[in-house]
Chains A and B, each alone.
Chain A
Amino acid sequence: MEKKTYTISVYSENNVGLLNRISAIFLKRHINLESFSTSESEIPNVFRFVIVINITPDKVHKIVQQIEKQIDVIKAYYHTDEETIFQENALYKVKSSFLFEERQIQNIIKASHATIVTVSPEFFVIEKTGFREETEQLRKDLSPFGLLQFVRSGRISVTKAKMGISEILNTFKNNN
């Protein structure tokens, strides 16, 4: 079976140790992650992990089953890129002198629809939100000027389909 990029979304309680528990599921199967990010979700006190992996459909299904089996996990889903809206965020730190001496930099920033976050006498910082190829292209374009620092966030994503977490939590409330 062919490998594909999947976004796994995990809704969970905010308990110490759950991150370890989820990462152990990947470790046990010798699977490397493309990216991993976590934040509070649309529901207060419910956290959401967004995990990106490149894997076969059969394996992603089994992994999501294992994640969902964890006591503190409310629900876990997996989606293909077509089923989600996703973005990554990147920051680029460049020497300030280039901004004034190399006209090209200004063109690169304009063309890539990146924004300048801050400018100081020593350096300036560019921010770019988009797909991996876009943040990667900007990195390539800027690298001849000597990137002082580069960092990219993990993928964040929302799904096109409904998640129904509130319904799950309400069902529990009504039954107990």
Chain B
Amino acid sequence: MKNHKNKKNQKSPNDSITISGAEAVVRCLLAEDANLVYGYPGGAIMPIYDELYKYKDQLHHVLTRHEQGATHAAQGFARTSGKVGVALATSGPGATNLVTGIADAQIDSTPMVCITGQVASHLLGSDAFQETDIIGISTPVTKWNYQITKASEIPEIMAKAFYIARSGRPGPVLIDITKDAQFEMFDFNYVKCRGIRSYWPNPPLNTNHLEEALKLINEAKKPFIVWGQGVILGQAEQEFKAFVEKSGIPAAWTILGLSALPTDHPLNRGMVGMHGNYAPNLLTNECDLLIAIGMRFDDRVTGDLNTYAKQAKVLHLELDPAEVNKNVKADVALITNCKISLKALTKRISKNTFSKWLKRFDALDVIENEKVIKGDLFPIKQGITMGESIAMINKYTKGDAVIVTDVGQHQMVACRYAKFNQSKSNVTSGGLGTMGFALPAAIGAKMGAPAREVVAVIGDGGYQMTIQELGTIFQQQVAVKIVILNNDFLGMVRQWQQLFFDKRYASTEMTNPDFVTIAKGYHIEAERVEKREDLDQAVGRMIASEKPFFLEICVEKENNVFPMIPSGASVSDIRLE
């Protein structure tokens, strides 16, 4: 990977100088510490690309092979670095190709700024070549968007874009810039955005509510924590760990909360939700206090809301007021960054343990271990399981890797079995469930955390949705490890067809190409494993490699992921087989 550190700019970004709108965009990016961007050029954004050429020593542009790849790479970068990801595209199809990634970033609260070129302002509304109303199209899936038609708007709008993307509950912002505004010369002066009068991203902690929350915690006999990505986005991992340890309350994670607390922490009791662990799902309906931290009660977490934690009081720690009482009614809500509320709570609670309550978790863990985990991790049948593949990755990465997953069975299995020692290590498409996310996201994840091992675990279906990004990996020499768990099926859909559609496997069987040959075509070292006895060494070689590496693991074709809460069923109806 090239060095894309921001070497000190000779031209100070604070001097007022006459430059073009396009150059201003690049200088705004540098002023916001965005020295790595992903994108794809085209007619309406060429003036900006021309400036990128001039500024290439300071700002590294990664040419993806599709604009969707640029957004997912920007997301992956944001998720591991904690910084704002940036994606560039031209007007028309370039802009519309960003939409899936933007929607993904919106629902998973990922800070991202997308910049699109637009036809010249005098052509707006004329159905000009490659004109599309990207502001209209992206409105429902952006935190904010804006169309710039004059160069003089660029500094203020770009400053707002970065401020909005990263503050409060983060999200994607799209800035559409007409081509004439990119060419226009103006006096540039950059001032960072410090606030917007209609936007209050940091609500303060309500001390009355804090007292009520403390009362709930002090009275609880069987309290239970479910945490989400809010802990990571709020940079509250330390505060969260301190709260869990002092309160002694067992805690489980949503898929996006994964890695905020180390996997082997004794109070980390696994995953909630559709393919989550047995104990935390069942005990959701047994606890007397449910403490939800930085999570939004997604339907994949709650199942049927009418039978979800009805016996429990609910304490919700959440930054976004619109998420409070949206799906689950909170008895008490602390609407602020959980870094603040957790710190305040920890200070006031007394040290506690719930040994009897924890034994309930242990007992149910034994059942899940017997019925599910043993067969996944130590199979006696011939075919390789997804579970043992993940366990093998654990063996070599020792829980220190960033694991990037796509969507489907492999994602659920990877999240269930991957070990994590540190935060910001799980990169996946949670809310939107975007197949094709993982390969480009892994590129960004590695560039956002270059010192870390990044392993992308992908299904054979999702892999082929953005397989062209192998070109980006090759060109940039991004040392990601790509593991395809190949069952020649769209496995999750096939599982549903088996369980709920009488095994009518409509369009889920895939006739796949030779993935190893394809990877080799991009000059990426590649191997295929078909037998269990070859798995260990192949994974070993992959992790030992310092270059991009592709490993296809041919797994058992018709394995299912359990436990499973059928769609719309109660968490109490979790199935083990």
Contacts and interface: CB of A to CB of B under 8 A. Distances in A.
Interface stretch (A67-75, A82-90, A150-158): A67-75
A113 interface: no
Contacts of B135: 17, 20
Q: Name the interface size band of chain A.
A: 20 to 34
A65 B198 contact: no
Interface stretch (B308-316, B321-329, B347-355, B487-495): B321-329
A61 B195 contact: no
A132 B453 CA distance: 66
B95 to A, nearest CB: 15
A172 B322 CA distance: 21
Interface in B362-417: none
Interface in A65-115: 65-66, 68-69, 71-74
B144 interface: yes
Contacts of B136: 17, 20
B164 interface: yes
B274 to A, nearest CB: 23
Interface in A12-34: 12-13, 15-17, 20-21, 24, 27-28
Contact of B139 (A21, A61, A173): A21
Contacts of A169: 197
A59 B320 CA distance: 17
Given A21-B139, A71-B144, A66 B195 contact: no
A131 to B, nearest CB: 32
Interface string B140-167: 1001111100000000000000001000
B322 A68 contact: yes
A118 interface: no
B199 A65 contact: no
A32 B322 CA distance: 21
B196 interface: yes
A48 to B, nearest CB: 13
Nearest to A58: B325
A173 B198 contact: no
B254 to A, nearest CB: 21
Contacts of A16: 147
A28 B140 contact: yes
Contacts of A71: 143-144, 164, 196, 198-199
Interface residues of B, number: 21
B194 interface: yes
A147 B554 CA distance: 75
Contact of A175 (B146, B195, B199): B195
A157 B136 CA distance: 29
A16 B144 CA distance: 12
Contacts of B139: 17, 20-21, 24
Contacts, number: 51
Contacts of B195: 172, 175-176
B473 to A, nearest CB: 36
B194 A69 contact: no
A62 interface: yes
A21 B146 CA distance: 12
Given A13-B198, A73-B198, A65 B322 contact: yes
Interface string B175-209: 00000000000000000001111110000000000
A68 B198 CA distance: 9
Interface in B191-232: 194-199
A46 to B, nearest CB: 9
B239 to A, nearest CB: 25
A135 to B, nearest CB: 33
Contacts of A62: 322, 325-326
Nearest to B323: A65
Nearest to B135: A17
A109 B451 CA distance: 82
Contacts of A74: 197-198
A25 to B, nearest CB: 8
B156 to A, nearest CB: 13
Contacts of A69: 320-322
B326 to A, nearest CB: 6
A72 B199 CA distance: 7
B140 A24 contact: yes
B198 A17 contact: no
Contacts of A68: 321-322
B9 to A, nearest CB: 28
Contacts of B196: 71
B321 A65 contact: yes
A73 B200 CA distance: 10
Contacts of A173: 197
Interface string B289-331: 0000000000000000000000000000000111001100000
Most chain-B Cβ atoms within 10 A of its Cβ — which of A16, A17, A24, A173?
Answer: A17
Nearest to A65: B322
A71 B326 CA distance: 19
Contacts of A20: 135-136, 139
What are the 10 tightest A-B residue pairs by CB atom distance, in nearest-first order? A65-B322, A172-B197, A74-B198, A24-B140, A71-B144, A176-B195, A69-B322, A71-B199, A20-B139, A21-B139
11 contacts: A12-B198, A17-B136, A17-B146, A20-B135, A62-B325, A69-B320, A71-B144, A71-B164, A74-B197, A74-B198, A176-B195
Interface of B: 135-136, 139-140, 143-147, 164, 194-199, 320-322, 325-326
Interface of A: 12-13, 15-17, 20-21, 24, 27-28, 61-62, 65-66, 68-69, 71-74, 169, 172-173, 175-176
Given A17-B135, A71-B198, A175-B195, 4 more contacts: A17-B145, A66-B322, A72-B144, A72-B198
